[in-house]
Amino acid sequence: MISRKWLFLNTGFRDGEFNMNFDRGLAHLFGKGKIRPVLRVYGWKPYAISIGYNQDESVFDIEKIKKAGFDFVRRPTGGRAILHSEELTYSIVVDGAGKTVLEVYNLLSRGIAKGLSLLGAKFELEESQPNFSKIYKQFSSIPCFATSAKYEIHFAGRKVVGSAQRRYGDVVLQHGSILIGEFHKKLPEFLKVESQDLIEKMKLEIERKTICLNEILGRNVSFEEVAESLKRGFEVEFGISFEEISETKLLEMIL
């Protein structure tokens, strides 16, 4: 599964529609055999709320989201809602033939954790798997960072990276958010919830279960610093050699 030659792409800060379409495009190109495995890093401008492929959007206050100046997009992957703000988002496209979903999560999380460790802290992988069907039945709007899946990345028991995955045949698209700052905690404010108490409880739950790189390292961490560490982590963990490719060239292939 882990090829020794990958593409690396930093597309910087783009809007939500561009980011999701670009990830879909990379998966399509890989499935056609036109590109190597890819590690892409990007940010969001403006900030955006993304929801999972099958998530009900009616629980969100779209008008309030637009008034805040945020995008609202649906991801091609599963999972729950994320407020993309002070973070680095990664996306990876690889061959998943012969590997289960959890096996791929485990493998890719090792590379991500290695990269984050180069920033100066030790990160761990979640070892348990919650009953998501039960959780989602109780709270259809539950934010992604309020729960942890197996092999997601923690620091001192609190979630640092939230990831989601989709398969197109043997092609795996996995993308996720690496928390740099704390703005993501505001997500519950954009839910259609009548009880302010419930909103505050959800915000406290996110506070309790997540932690960002700025807090872990006790300093302001830059997007570019995380991007470089992530790239280096995959090189160290898997012996990968990256070739950088231009966004323009890939866009021409996608379009």
> Do the beta carbons of residue 61 and residue 192 sit within 8 Å?
yes
Residue 242 phi/psi, 5-degree rounding, is: -95, 140
Give the C-alpha separation, 108 to 110, whole Å.
5
Measured distance CA(72)–CA(68) in Å, rounded: 11
Secondary element (H or E) of residue 18: helix 16-31
Active site residue 212: no
CA distance 79 to 75: 9
Catalytic residue among 39, 116, 144, 211: 144
Longest pairwise C-alpha distance within the chain: 52
Q: What is the DSSP string of 152-194?
A: -EEETTEE-EEEEEEEETTEEEEEEEEE-SSGGGGGGGGB--S
Active site amino acids:
144
